[in-house]
């Protein structure tokens, strides 16, 4: 994509101009509603096991399948953001999500419920790269940290408070109301988007490489499926080690093909962002963060509170609410601090806090008081809050403008795949470490899983010290040697739009 252009065919004659923050606000609210569904079912999984007549390892696919679908679809968003306008992508995403939500609400059993979750995830997958790319293009460098802080509310807080909302609904209503309550919100966002979303952008006639799409699906799907079925090979359609090998080989071929295709600007997922060391460090840390947030914080913790401590679904949801609120309140303040001091002073203490909280969860046993769980969860969420905004902004700020969409797609892909692998992997470890014959996670199995999460936290601390000391300041053009230009990015006069550096071809 070559950069901002004048109003295109989507700009209706006589339509009023749309300011950047109106576009950002619309995307933030829509993405919040969509990502909330990543974890809204987590507190209901034990209940759904009995209600749907499936095993614990099968029902967790309602969460990990959602994440896996996002991991498969997100790599195509770099292509989509090049090929279609932001308005077209937004409307398609909200339509898909609304349709999936309706399917889930009407589903009579596990099979159709899983189909609905996949359709939901297909729409959700496109929204986060669209949101991050729009911020990098519309917001000037000196304000990106604060704006990315708002986005962290979507990316981190929505899945963090999902269990709270799910628990409150399940306490008095059927689980289908988790979807009936969301459907009006998604339809309202779709209607507002039809009426108000106008953002001009240049499109490129990039051909879709179907082989790359197939390799991406096989690669990410095989790896996550393999992790999720380790220890349960007899129940798996494909042996887990076969799936892992196929996935790794497919990913290797996918990477090689993208490197070749990007020479002609036709890659499904341009991998040149990996040539920037700060981007690589940010991506690795973000993947470890999401593995912990979604795998341990959003899935293992509700299982521990309900299965070991005997806490009800409503109380479980309320217990994780303080942590979710802390994470939300930290978004913009942390973003402002990042704008002044950079990522390193925030990311290192955040990674340390994440590791400490995992080991504290491992130390809690069957006799732990609920308030202790709440305190440790608040520590975890505060630590993640210190890391989320700096990593998102630092990683993308070093890229030239033409790679924003692909950098966002890479970051979002690895985040979701890491979350899916963490969800499936931690549940599998907990089942393998349990003393019960059925493999249902008990106190000993959950302790082992939290210990594994603690090891991942220690690795994150080591990677955090690799974050560069100098703030990025959004100077992607200077960092990469690309020529920089400025110009309007929405349908309005140039003097109303804050300028931001963009890289040329």
- Shared domain for 178 and 225, answered yes or no, is no
Cα 301 from chain centre: 19
Q: Are strands 484-485 and 502-503 parallel, antiparallel or unpaired?
A: antiparallel
> Range with the lowest mean pLDDT among 107-111, 206-210, 224-228?
224-228
| Residue 10 counted as domain residue | no
Buried b (16+ CB within 10 A) or exposed e, 415-432: bbbbbbbbbbbbbbbbbe
Contact between 59 and 110 under an 8 Å Cβ cutoff? The reply is yes
How many other C-beta atoms can be found within 10 angstroms of the C-beta atom of residue 242?
A: 14
Highest mean pLDDT among 65-69, 228-232, 439-443: 65-69
- Shared domain for 195 and 261, answered yes or no, is no
Contact between 233 and 240 under an 8 Å Cβ cutoff? The reply is yes
What mean pLDDT is predicted for residues 293-311?
A: 84
Distance CA 242, CA 170 (A): 38
Neighbouring C-alpha atoms within 13 Å toward the C-beta of 397 = 29
- Shared domain for 403 and 378, answered yes or no, is yes
Gyration radius (Cα) of the chain, Å: 22
- Shared domain for 412 and 334, answered yes or no, is yes
Which range marks the domain in which residue 353 is found?
20-208+268-490
| Residue 504 counted as domain residue | no
pLDDT band at residue 436, thresholds of 50, 70 and 90? low
Write out the two tokens for 3.
């950069």
Contact between 273 and 406 under an 8 Å Cβ cutoff? The reply is yes
| Residue 5 counted as domain residue | no
Cα 163 from chain centre: 16
**Residue length, the chain?**
505
pLDDT at position 454 over 50: yes
The predicted model scores a pTM of 0.71
What mean pLDDT is predicted for residues 291-320?
A: 84
pLDDT for the residue numbered 383: 94
Phi, psi of 502 (to 5 degrees): -130, 145
Inter-axis angle of helices 370-397 and 404-432, to 10 degrees? 150
Instruction: Provide the CATH number for the domain around residue 459.
Output: 1.20.1250.20
> Rounded to whole angstroms, what are the CA distances from 128 to 138, 204, 382, 405?
15, 21, 22, 10
| Residue 3 counted as domain residue | no
- Shared domain for 256 and 119, answered yes or no, is no
How many other C-beta atoms can be found within 10 angstroms of the C-beta atom of residue 249?
A: 14
Beta bridge partners, 485, equal: 502
| Residue 404 counted as domain residue | yes
What is the DSSP annotation of 12-29?
Answer: -TTPPP--HHHHHHHHHH
Distance CA 107, CA 104 (A): 5
pLDDT at position 455 over 80: yes
- Shared domain for 65 and 147, answered yes or no, is yes
3-state secondary structure 171-201: HHCCCCHHHHCCHHHHHHHHHHHHHHCCCCC
- Shared domain for 367 and 331, answered yes or no, is yes
Contact between 138 and 24 under an 8 Å Cβ cutoff? The reply is yes
pLDDT for the residue numbered 496: 37
- Shared domain for 276 and 234, answered yes or no, is no
pLDDT at position 463 over 90: yes
The sign of the dihedral angle between the CA atoms of 386, 391, 394, 396 is negative
pLDDT, tens digit, 9 for 90 and up, residues 123-145 = 988 887 888 888 777 777 777 77
Phi, psi of 54 (to 5 degrees): -125, 165
Domain count, the chain: 2
Write out the two tokens for 344.
């390193």
What mean pLDDT is predicted for residues 452-461?
A: 94
More confident residue, 34 or 256: 256
The DSSP secondary-structure symbol of 496 reads G
pLDDT for the residue numbered 284: 93
| Residue 167 counted as domain residue | yes
Q: Which residues contact 25 (CB under 8 A, 6 or more apart)?
A: none
Classify 367 as helix, strand or coil: coil
The DSSP secondary-structure symbol of 264 reads G
- Shared domain for 318 and 197, answered yes or no, is yes
pLDDT for the residue numbered 234: 52
- Shared domain for 249 and 273, answered yes or no, is no
Contact between 17 and 492 under an 8 Å Cβ cutoff? The reply is yes
- Shared domain for 116 and 240, answered yes or no, is no
Q: What average pLDDT does the chain have?
A: 79
pLDDT band at residue 248, thresholds of 50, 70 and 90? very high
How many other C-beta atoms can be found within 10 angstroms of the C-beta atom of residue 115?
A: 15
| Residue 294 counted as domain residue | yes
pLDDT band at residue 413, thresholds of 50, 70 and 90? confident
pLDDT at position 12 over 50: no
Cα 445 from chain centre: 27
Domain limit, last residue, from 267, 295, 312: 267
| Residue 7 counted as domain residue | no
- Shared domain for 262 and 351, answered yes or no, is no
pLDDT, tens digit, 9 for 90 and up, residues 13-31 = 444 445 677 778 888 888 8
């Amino acid at each position: 994509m070559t950069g901002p252009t004048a109003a295109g065919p989507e700009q209706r004659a006589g339509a009023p101009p749309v300011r950047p923050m109106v576009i950002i606000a619309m995307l933030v609210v829509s993405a919040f509603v969509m990502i909330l569904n990543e974890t809204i079912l987590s507190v209901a999984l034990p209940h759904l096991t009995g209600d749907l007549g499936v095993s614990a390892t099968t029902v967790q696919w309602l969460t990990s399948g959602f994440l896996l679908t996002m991991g498969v679809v997100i790599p195509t968003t770099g292509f989509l953001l090049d090929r279609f306008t932001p308005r077209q992508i937004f409307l398609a995403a909200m339509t898909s999500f609304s349709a999936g939500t309706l399917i889930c609400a009407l589903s009579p059993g596990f099979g159709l419920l899983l189909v609905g979750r996949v359709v939901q995830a297909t729409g959700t997958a496109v929204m986060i790269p669209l949101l991050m790319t729009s911020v990098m293009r519309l917001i000037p460098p000196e304000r990106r940290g604060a704006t990315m802080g708002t986005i962290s509310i979507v990316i981190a807080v929505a899945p963090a408070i999902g269990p709270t909302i799910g628990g409150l609904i399940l306490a008095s209503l059927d689980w289908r109301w988790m979807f009936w309550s969301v459907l009006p919100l998604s339809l309202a966002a779709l209607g507002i988007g039809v009426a108000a979303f106008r953002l001009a952008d240049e499109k490129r006639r990039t051909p879709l490489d179907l082989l790359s799409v197939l390799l991406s699906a096989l690669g990410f799907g095989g790896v996550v499926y393999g992790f999720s079925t380790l220890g349960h090979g007899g129940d798996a359609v494909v042996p887990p080690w076969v799936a892992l090998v196929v996935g790794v080989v497919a990913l290797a071929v996918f990477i090689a093909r993208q490197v070749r295709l990007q020479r002609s600007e036709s890659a499904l997922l341009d991998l040149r962002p990996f040539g920037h060391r700060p981007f690589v460090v940010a991506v690795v840390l973000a993947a470890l963060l999401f593995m912990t947030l979604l795998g341990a914080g959003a899935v293992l913790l509700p299982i521990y509170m309900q299965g070991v401590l005997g806490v009800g679904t409503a109380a479980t949801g309320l217990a994780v609410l303080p942590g979710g609120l802390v994470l939300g309140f930290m978004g913009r303040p942390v973003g402002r601090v990042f704008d002044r001091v950079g990522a390193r002073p925030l990311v290192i203490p955040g990674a340390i806090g994440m590791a400490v909280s995992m080991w504290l969860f491992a130390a809690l046993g069957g006799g732990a008081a609920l308030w202790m769980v709440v305190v440790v969860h608040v520590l975890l969420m505060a630590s993640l809050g210190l890391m989320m905004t700096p990593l998102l902004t630092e990683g993308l700020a070093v890229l030239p403008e033409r790679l924003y969409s692909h950098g966002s797609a890479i970051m979002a892909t690895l985040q979701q795949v890491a979350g899916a692998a963490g969800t499936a992997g931690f549940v599998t470890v907990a089942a393998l470490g349990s003393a019960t014959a059925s493999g249902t996670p008990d106190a000993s199995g959950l302790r082992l899983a939290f210990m594994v999460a603690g090891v991942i936290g220690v690795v994150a601390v080591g990677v955090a010290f690799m974050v560069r000391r100098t703030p990025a300041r959004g100077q992607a053009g200077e960092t990469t040697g690309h020529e920089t230009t400025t110009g309007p990015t929405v349908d309005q006069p140039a003097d109303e739009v804050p300028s931001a550096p963009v890289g040329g071809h």
